[in-house]
Structure 1
Amino acid sequence: MRPDRAVPRTAHRAGCHERKGGPSMLLNKIVVAEDDDAIAHMVNMALGDAGFLCLRARDGEEAIRLVRVQSPDLLILDVMMPRCDGIEVVRRLRADVVTSKTPVLMLTALSSVEDRIEGLEAGADDYLSKPFDLRELAARVKALIRTSRRERERNPATDLPGSSAIDRHLHELLRAGVRAAVVHAHAVGFEDYAADAGYARAEDLVKSLGATVLRVAAAAADGAFVGHLGGADFVVTVPPAAGEPLARDLIAAFNAERRGWGADALRLAVAVVSTDGIGPGDPDGSDELARRMAAALRAAKQRDGSSHVVWAPAGG
């Protein structure tokens, strides 16, 4: 047996047979690039038990092809592969814009520091040495996918959570019945500014505005969530009592800093919306919150200068 073919240590008897057939939209997809049938089968069973769909590649070239075609959530890659070894596979994946963001967990029985460094410098995200515990493998896979998903969901301009992360955060708040103030800040006139100033200056303004929102929100409440919807739109969630003070502080900071951004013509419209009255698990909760936010932001935009509006129920 070759040294890189050491069989993993099993902490439990994997009870799921290898999944076959087309990929499922409901499961995280993992390409398992391993030419040893016994190891591949054990990995497939263990990860199948953990809720993953495993797609087998028997050599490096097939691994590259599957990653390009299937866009998996993760690649588990043996270092010693026929046709194209694991180090070269990682280099080629990282050099291709289509596959460059795919997280890679490398498996190896090569224990020297130099071998591990070579793989990490080529672009691998993590290493697991054989023999390994299948529970540790599953835990590392889940951690890498979580990290990768968070990175993909960040807005590239500000490195803040993007629209899908904001949606998930608000959904979780509503599902759990957490009382919160949702604050939506929008720089009115940003589209015209971007058209006149150009992409580079507009992006610089968005970065500066994002840093300001993050700083003010952090000072307003411990554990404040700050997300970037895109353009010049930001969402912050804080405890109910901190919502309106945060809106005032955001406007004060914006008005103080916009001259330095070369954006005197811009003004900040801020909506402050409560989650009160939206029951846990309410199927229409997200729609109701969106209606409240749209109404309050629309009213704030209609006012002169930078302004905030606190949502109140009709007749309230």
Structure 2
Amino acid sequence: MILTHGGALSNLPLFLAIDAGLLAARGLDVQAPRLDGFSSTVARLRNRTATIGTTGFTHVLADADDADPLVVVAGSGMRGMALLGPEGADVRTLSGAIGTFTDDPMQVLLADQTERHGLAGRTTVRFMGSLTEAADALASGAVTAITTVEPWIGRLVAAGATLLSDGSDVWGMDYPDTVLVARHSALMARPAEITALISAMLEAERMIATHPDDALAAVAHRFPGFSLAELRLGLAGQPPRVDLRGLEAVILDRWTTVRRLAGCPNGSPPSGLIDFSCLDAAIGQHMTTPERMTHVH
């Protein structure tokens, strides 16, 4: 199985499932290639190099017209996105270039903030190539604000950046960032594998809740340059949530904005973009199977 993934803490359940051997314990032979750049996740899903992985929920909406569409099959990480400005900034008076990321929920967050605060005409969008590039652009004054994710949010706010929005003002307190997706064809052909993958992520989520420092230490190599304290702070802002049942509307309510940004026809979301059948099966297995003693090494 070839998996793709992003680089934010919202991917933590998948990272830990891989690094703690939870996938191997379920008989899954998984390859998760390293990222080549910020857009690598979307590219691998679009060119079918990978048909399963974690990505921003917006990707499913943008590519809904595909003959073999991506389907949200579970969650991964909640919240943990932000619009940041320099010290003393006010979102209502922003002007100039704002750095964000194309094909990502962060772009949608910026669009919704632009509409909420009437920023159109006073601000422009500049697409960033990496989270590091965005942080450097904010620090140098090359942009007037940026969107970013954990663990960058905590680091930049600690260094003096102003939190202009954490997304809750436009999307509510509980919104997903990264979700687990699969091509519809993969979901139909390999439901047992996808169920096993979700089961491993559910186990990883419990490990994160019970032994957060051990879990973060196990995946720290995926966040070079960040201390355990920074990762712990980031985890508080972007906790895992594999079970997204009940939050379907939060995803689908972004349809109009995502389709406009992607230059796609609006209409109505087609049925089947969210399918939690494998999630239901994985949760059922955990409810009927005694918990294993799992240790993070």
Q: Whose relative contact order is higher, 1 or 2, with alpha carbons under 8 Å and at least 6 apart? A: 2
| TM-score normalised by structure 1 residue count | 0.23
| TM-score normalised by structure 2 residue count | 0.25
Larger radius of gyration: 1
